[in-house]
């Protein structure tokens, strides 16, 4: 006899369902019973895996994620956000959130805080998607990274002296950018791009190494790379560049001429025709007229406008003063559009591209997940080597052929094995492979790419076997899983009988109706 405790939805009380051995055997013989049991077993395995992770490795991952988040906060607060609305933009979702922060406030310090708030908000649907499709560990640590980054931003802002308002890494970029007739701001923009890329790349690599991410487009990258089992890093990088370009374009057309770099203004003014210069002079006079901006107009500009004689030289004298004057907005629509177009392909975009490139190079150097090597292994113990590789989780093909090795003094028959493996995985296996045969030789070749399906991760299956064995040896868990499988099977069987009865009733009604019509 088997007794199963069930909860009655109608009476809201627990009841006992008693099955005879014969009835139990019939249910277990049904084809969907084993299917239901396997599904419940898989669910139990995932639950136990989460429980083991939270007990064993979770706090170590939290420390790594927190350190990576702190590095990200430093990079964004001190090297990226400090460059203002005409400065640097990170890649991917970061570009969008930085743009939203810029259009929300003109205060540079507030832009940085809003960046983290918007980034966390935009990641909410992606986090939900991650728990659904990408697994508990990956999504939980990514969520912690996002929350830590936001928290560190708020904490740093309240620390005296070293907060971003009072403390500036290397140089006060906002102060330098306000000095007229200087290329210093553009040079420092590229310096900040390189340093910001180094710090961001290191922080991202740190979280990638523990199987986490920085959020944003990483969710989609992880999903497609897992489904396709291949590197789509180049697609993600190109997508980052496209998003960056679109964001810079949108940001540029919202800028005022006062925000555009002085050299760009001078370049546009330098190419004006005589007719355009006469229109410009009229615009200056209108701009300086009483009731407009007359109290703020430098007298030198008015004097040069009055003396303008139509020559290029007199026009460029005016241009030097106009480009340096942030108050002047009397440019024609055509000149303004040309300035904006030149700004799009100016320091802001190029420096942001450099930031993304440096960031990618650092990630690849620290965490070369998709960098492959082709390994030629010459050995007299090929079976031992293959057994070690497969037991260690190597799941790709091993090419093998017999070969004759000749040196000045010896001739030996050996086997040559060829495998393709990632740099990270080969570092984990190299010492173990070498220990199998003291006369073994390696030849490691750089691999530009791998076509077709390639298993990147080492997966032995031992962890899954351990979890399954633990569940099967626990009588209470095993009984609970079987009970739930039986109940689910009974419910499905009853539903199937109900559908068949309903269909049969419908068929009988149609037959009776047809018979009555004939009579």
Q: Give the pLDDT score at 199.
A: 94
DSSP secondary structure of 490-516 = HHHHHHHHHHHHHHHHHHHHHHHHHHH
Residue 194, pLDDT score:
95
Pairing of strands 399-406, 441-447: unpaired
Q: What is the pLDDT of residue 67?
A: 94
Q: Would you state the pLDDT for residue 97?
A: 94
Spatial contact of 8 and 470, defined as CB atoms under 8 Å apart: no
pLDDT tens for 307-336 read 777 777 777 777 777 777 767 777 777 888
Of the ranges 160-169, 431-440, 472-481, which one carries the lowest mean pLDDT score?
A: 472-481
Instruction: Determine contact, residues 402/379, Cβ cutoff 8 Å.
Output: no
pLDDT, tens digit, 9 for 90 and up, residues 389-427: 888 888 888 898 887 776 676 777 788 899 988 888 888
CATH 3.30.70.120 segments of the chain: 371-455
pLDDT of residue 244 exceeding 80: yes
Pairwise CA distance, residues 33 & 269, whole Å: 81
Contact residues for 453 (Cβ-Cβ < 8 A; gap 6+)? 229, 230
From the list 196, 197, 201, 176, the residue with the least C-alpha distance to 186 is: 176
Rounded to the nearest integer, the mean pLDDT of the chain is 80
> Residue with structure tokens 């406030």?
105
Q: Tens of pLDDT along 448-507? A: 777 777 777 777 565 566 666 677 677 777 778 777 887 788 787 777 777 777 777 777
> Is the pTM value of this prediction over 0.85?
no
Residues β-bridged to residue 377: 417, 442
Assess if CATH 3.40.50.2020 describes domain 371-455: no
Burial class of residue 245, CB neighbours in 10 A (0-12, 13-18, 19+): middle
Rounded to whole angstroms, how far apart are CA atoms 438 and 426? 18
pLDDT, position 465: 64
């Amino acid at each position: 006899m088997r007794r199963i405790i069930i909860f009655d939805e109608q009476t809201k009380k627990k009841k006992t369902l008693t099955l005879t051995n014969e009835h139990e055997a019939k249910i277990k013989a049904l084809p969907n019973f084993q299917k239901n049991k396997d599904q419940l077993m898989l669910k139990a395995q995932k639950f136990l895996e989460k429980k083991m992770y939270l007990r064993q490795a979770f706090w170590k991952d939290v420390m790594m994620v927190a350190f990576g988040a702190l590095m990200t906060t430093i990079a964004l607060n001190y090297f990226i956000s400090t460059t203002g609305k005409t400065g640097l933009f990170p890649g991917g979702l970061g570009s969008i959130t930085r743009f939203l922060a810029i259009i929300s406030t003109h205060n540079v310090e507030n832009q940085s805080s809003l960046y983290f708030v918007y980034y966390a908000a935009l990641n909410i649907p992606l986090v939900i998607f991650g728990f659904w499709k990408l697994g508990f560990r990956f999504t939980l640590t990514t969520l912690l990274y996002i929350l830590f980054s936001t928290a560190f931003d708020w904490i740093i802002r309240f620390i005296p002296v070293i907060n971003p308002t009072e403390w500036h890494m290397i140089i006060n970029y906002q102060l330098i950018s306000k000095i007229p007739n200087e290329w210093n701001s553009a040079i420092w923009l590229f310096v900040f791009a390189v340093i910001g890329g180094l710090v961001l790349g290191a922080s991202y690599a740190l979280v990638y190494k523990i199987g986490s991410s920085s959020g944003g487009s990483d969710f989609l990258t992880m999903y497609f790379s897992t489904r396709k089992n291949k590197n789509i890093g180049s697609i993600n990088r190109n997508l980052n560049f496209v998003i960056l370009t679109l964001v810079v374009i949108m940001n540029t057309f919202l800028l005022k001429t006062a925000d555009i770099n002085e050299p760009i203004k001078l370049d546009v003014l330098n190419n004006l025709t005589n007719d355009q210069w006469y229109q410009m002079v009229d615009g200056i006079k209108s701009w300086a007229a009483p009731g407009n901006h007359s109290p703020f107009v430098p007298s030198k500009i008015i004097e040069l406008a009055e003396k303008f004689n139509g020559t290029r030289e007199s026009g460029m004298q005016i241009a030097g003063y106009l480009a340096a004057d942030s108050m002047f907005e009397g440019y024609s629509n055509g000149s303004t559009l040309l300035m904006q177009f030149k700004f799009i392909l100016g320091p802001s975009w190029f420096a942001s591209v450099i930031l993304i490139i440096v960031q990618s190079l650092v990630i690849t150097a620290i965490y070369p997940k998709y960098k492959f090597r082709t390994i030629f292994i010459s050995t007299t113990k090929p079976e031992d080597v293959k057994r070690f590789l497969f037991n260690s989780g190597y799941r790709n093909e091993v090419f093998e052929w017999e070969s004759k090795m000749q040196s000045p003094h010896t001739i030996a028959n050996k086997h040559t094995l060829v495998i393709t493996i990632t740099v990270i995985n080969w570092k984990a296996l190299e010492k173990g492979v070498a220990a199998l045969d003291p006369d073994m030789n390696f030849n490691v070749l750089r691999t530009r790419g791998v076509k077709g399906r390639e298993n990147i991760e080492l997966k032995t299956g031992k962890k899954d076997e351990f979890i399954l064995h633990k569940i099967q040896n626990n009588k209470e868990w095993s009984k609970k899983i079987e009970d739930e499988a039986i109940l689910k099977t009974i419910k499905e069987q009853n539903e199937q009988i109900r559908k068949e009865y309903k269909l049969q009733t419908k068929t009988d009604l149609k037959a009776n109706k047809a018979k009555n019509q004939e009579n």
